[in-house]
């Protein structure tokens, strides 16, 4: 019989280690049969098997909860209770388990779009296959969102803000109010903003999810996911059970890497965000660029809402390159400093073309309906000097223009 949930409290290190030790073990031994029985019965705190709990993972979970609870944010009411966190082996593990813990056959889930490609596939294919109805609404369409959440048996509203890859911004206070009216849970993917710049729990969200692969880890060395909520009963019951049964638990070493990466989170994202703003301003003045999306630009459609609910605008930039998909490929091929790669939140600047990479599995009509056009280039700004990134982009834009002129 599987063991019930036992305490995930961190076991103190007997040697007084400054950092959480890596408990790289699959199982734990017992001093006696009585101790084992007490642990399995939940009568004593401790650990029995790493899929069910591990001291290193527990240390990372405690840090996650603290990140969402205490970082600076705009003046808003305090979280009514201390949040708890559950770590997962990937962001998709966290998102999938969360939605499966909230919705069952016959239930209805609403989501704003665009969304990360994996999330879009989950909502478009897997949940309907399980008998869960899904309605998507374009981010910013308040009337459409209101109609969608009013449909029968709506149990969850899922939001990314800023959205991947268009940087659309969703009004979290409005989303929270709409969800509350119908008794649904508001789930917010806070990966792009990070807890440094946005704390959804303070704005009315019920559940926050992260791909901790990205900014929380910050160095491109580990895959991870996280769920943070003040509903500790739901987290420690339904969600924990799903993680146990689906097996989406992080390894102790991954948890340790994420713990270490999170120590420089604020330093990294603030530096990258400052560079991103200046890069977005520069891109907006380039003749080869048709449009730029960055919430920190005063003329960005999401600027007003972002200014109210975020304390910074993040390090992601999206822009349209004149010449569409072909010009985008030439721009990427000409990069010398920035890396051609998916993912985001690394110390290096990463550039990708969503229509042929992260969102290529979506039909063209669906991509364009979500604002993911063929000319869209997504940039995860890293920690390089602005001048280095800017000069690299300048020569790459020039190469794309020159190649287009030669073709004509």
What's the rounded Cα separation, in Å, for the pair 7 and 357? Answer: 41
So what's the pLDDT on residue 2?
40
To the query of whether residue 143 is one of the catalytic residues in this protein, the response is no
Evaluate whether 272 touches 381 at the Cβ level (below 8 Å). yes
Section 239-262 average pLDDT: 97
Section 129-144 average pLDDT: 96
Section 392-404 average pLDDT: 86
What's the rounded Cα separation, in Å, for the pair 324 and 331? Answer: 11
So what's the pLDDT on residue 223?
98
Section 322-348 average pLDDT: 94
So what's the pLDDT on residue 33?
95
Which is catalytic among the residues 51, 146, 270, 339?
51
Decide if pLDDT at 74 tops 50: no
Evaluate whether 97 touches 227 at the Cβ level (below 8 Å). yes
**Banded pLDDT at 7 (limits 50, 70, 90):** very low
So what's the pLDDT on residue 407?
52
What's the rounded Cα separation, in Å, for the pair 54 and 47? Answer: 6
To the query of whether residue 214 is one of the catalytic residues in this protein, the response is yes
Section 268-277 average pLDDT: 98
To the query of whether residue 189 is one of the catalytic residues in this protein, the response is yes
What's the rounded Cα separation, in Å, for the pair 11 and 58? Answer: 9
So what's the pLDDT on residue 76?
44
To the query of whether residue 168 is one of the catalytic residues in this protein, the response is no
Decide if pLDDT at 75 tops 80: no
pLDDT tens digit string along 104-116? Answer: 999 999 999 999 9
Which is catalytic among the residues 107, 168, 171, 189?
189
Which is catalytic among the residues 116, 215, 294, 313?
116
Which is catalytic among the residues 63, 185, 199, 214?
214
Q: Name the pTM for this structure.
A: 0.92
């Amino acid at each position: 019989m599987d063991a019930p949930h036992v305490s995930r409290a961190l076991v103190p290190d007997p040697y007084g280690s400054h950092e959480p030790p890596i408990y790289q073990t699959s199982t734990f031994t017992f001093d006696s049969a009585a101790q084992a029985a007490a642990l399995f019965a939940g009568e004593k705190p401790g650990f029995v098997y790493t899929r069910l709990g591990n001291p290193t993972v527990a240390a990372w979970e405690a840090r996650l909860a603290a990140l969402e609870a205490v970082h600076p944010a705009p003046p808003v009411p305090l979280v009514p209770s201390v949040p708890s966190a559950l770590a997962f082996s990937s962001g998709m593990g966290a998102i999938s388990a969360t939605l499966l813990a909230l919705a069952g056959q016959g239930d209805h889930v609403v989501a704003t779009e665009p969304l990360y490609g994996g999330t879009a596939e989950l909502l478009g294919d897997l949940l309907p296959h399980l008998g869960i109805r899904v309605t998507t609404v374009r981010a910013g369409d308040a009337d459409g969102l209101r109609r969608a959440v009013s449909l029968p048996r709506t149990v969850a509203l899922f939001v990314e803000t800023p959205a991947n890859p268009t940087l659309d911004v969703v009004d979290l206070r409005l989303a929270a109010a709409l969800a509350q009216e119908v008794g649904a849970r508001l789930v917010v993917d806070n990966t792009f903003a990070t807890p440094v710049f946005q704390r959804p729990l303070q704005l009315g969200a019920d559940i926050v999810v992260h791909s901790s692969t990205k900014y929380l880890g910050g160095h491109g060395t580990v895959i991870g996911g996280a769920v943070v909520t003040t509903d500790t009963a739901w987290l420690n019951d339904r969600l924990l059970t799903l993680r146990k049964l689906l097996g989406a638990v992080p390894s102790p070493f991954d948890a340790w890497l994420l713990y270490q990466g999170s120590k420089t989170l604020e330093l990294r994202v603030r530096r990258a965000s400052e560079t991103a703003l200046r890069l977005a301003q520069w891109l907006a003045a380039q003749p080869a660029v048709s449009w730029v999306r960055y919430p920190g630009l005063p003329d960005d459609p999401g600027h007003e809402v972002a200014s109210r609910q975020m304390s910074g605008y993040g390090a992601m930039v999206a822009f349209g390159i004149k010449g569409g998909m072909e010009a985008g490929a030439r721009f990427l091929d000409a990069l010398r400093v920035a890396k051609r790669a998916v993912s985001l939140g690394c110390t290096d600047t990463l550039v990708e073309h969503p229509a042929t990479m992260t969102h290529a599995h979506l039909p063209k009509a669906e991509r364009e309906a979500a604002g993911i056009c063929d000319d869209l280039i997504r940039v995860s700004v890293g920690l390089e000097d602005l001048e280095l990134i800017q000069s690299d982009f300048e020569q790459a834009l020039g190469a794309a223009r020159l190649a287009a002129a030669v073709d004509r």
